[in-house]
Structure formats: C-alpha cells, structure tokens
Amino acid sequence: MKHIAVAIDGPSGAGKSTIARAVAQSLGLIYVDTGAMYRTIGLHVSRAGIQPGEPDKVSELIQSADAPAVSLTYVEGEQHVLLNGEDVSGLIRTPEMSRYASFVSAVPEVRAFLLNTQRDLAKTTSVIMDGRDIGTVILPDADVKIYLTAAPEARARRRCDELLEKGQDVTYEQILADQLRRDEADMTRAEAPLRQAEDAVLVDTSELTLEQSIEAVGAIVRRVME
C-alpha cells in the first residue's frame, strides 16, 4: 500500500474521531486524534491550577522544566494518550476538558509544541489525522482533505447522548451552549482558526447515520488509494 496522509477537519462534535477511527481501521491506516493531544495539554494545565483566560501562564508552563510529555501509543489499533507516562485517555473526554482544549489550542506555544510530533507521525506512517487545522496548517500537502461538519443542534444531540451513556450528568441545552461557544472560539482565534481548506471535500453529516457518514468518508479516501 502506498503512503497516504488524510486530513480531516471540522467543528467539535462533528464525529471526526469516531468516523476517522472507523475508516482508518477498515483501510489499515493509523488513526491520529490530535484533539486528544490538546485535551491532554488542557488536563496538564488544569492540574497546574491554571484557569482558562490565563494564556501567559500556559506559555510559561509549556516552556518550563515542567512541560508535559505527551505521547501516543496504540493497543490493538486503539489510540491511547499518555501524559508523563500516565494513560489519561479516559480522563480527557469531559465537557471541562473540551473547554480547556479550546483554550490551550489558541496558545501559539502549545501549537508549536505539538506540531512536529503530529507531522512526524504523518511522515513515518500512513495516517488519518483529525483536528481543527490539519489540512490548513499541520498537513497542508495531505493527499486527502475532508471538512466534516454537521448542524450545531445535531452535534449537540449526539454529544449529549454519548456523555449520558457514559453516566455523565449533562443536559442538551448545556452541551449546545458549550458547542456554540467552542465553535466561536475555534473559528475566531488568532492562531490557526478553524476553516475549510480550499481543496478540502465538504461532508455534512447532519442527516446521515453514523454508518452512512463512515461510508461517505471512506469512499473519498478509497478513491485516492486506488
């Protein structure tokens, strides 16, 4: 199989991680969830007692001796994120870490800190990488670029159902409000704002089932691989 890099961008809750993971597994590619990396930085920042709205303190932390060691490992094809050797994959999927991820991702030093790690992964193996600026900044020369989106209401309903299934005490209204705040922050930040790359294929999953969404994205990638 020839080397291939697939970039999937889009707003929070669009299903990027679930869809990218499924497509990667079906096509024998490595899935890289960059959002998990930012959530992990957010967890580190939170543990350091830094609050959203204190970017200078984040910059100092990232450049200090206490800078976090973020790495990825794969167990039976499933990505796990390590923070200073601790597997934090189960700790970063909360609304609070979503807010921290949005906050730290706007800090230039954080983006620079993770940039080379993300690019090196794409150089050494065939990947599907998802995030907010993969096709525009991280992998501008990706073989396939997809902008995956859905209406805010559809995204909020899916995220709410997902968190309720995990036993978290959330409401649809709360998730929708967080979703809209996250969209605004991601699209208006000065550093690498969320936007569709000019050469990206738009896939709107508002009216699609998960299976249909996976098939739509998989078909785009397969056409390039053939």
Share of the chain above pLDDT 70, in %: 99
pLDDT for 67 equals 87
Going by C-alpha positions, the residue among 216, 44, 77, 59 that lies closest to residue 147 is: 216
pLDDT for 20 equals 95
Going by C-alpha positions, the residue among 213, 191, 216 that lies closest to residue 13 is: 213
Which residue's entry shows tokens 């670029």? 145
**Which residues, listed in sequence order, are joined to residue 87 by a DSSP beta bridge?**
82
Give the C-alpha separation, 175 to 181, whole Å.
10
Give the C-alpha separation, 184 to 166, whole Å.
27
- Region 105-119: mean pLDDT is 90
pLDDT for 192 equals 84
pLDDT in tens, 30-70: 899 888 999 999 999 999 999 999 999 999 999 998 888 89
Whole-model pTM: value is 0.81
Specify the higher pLDDT residue, 219 or 67. 219
Residue type, 68: P
Q: What separation in angstroms does the CA of 195 have from each of 184, 190, 202?
A: 12, 12, 11
Does pLDDT of 1 surpass 70?
no
Which residues 6+ apart lie within 8 Å of 177 measured at CB? none
Going by C-alpha positions, the residue among 155, 219, 204, 214 that lies closest to residue 181 is: 155
Give the C-alpha separation, 152 to 156, whole Å.
6
pLDDT in tens, 189-217: 888 889 999 999 999 999 999 999 999 99
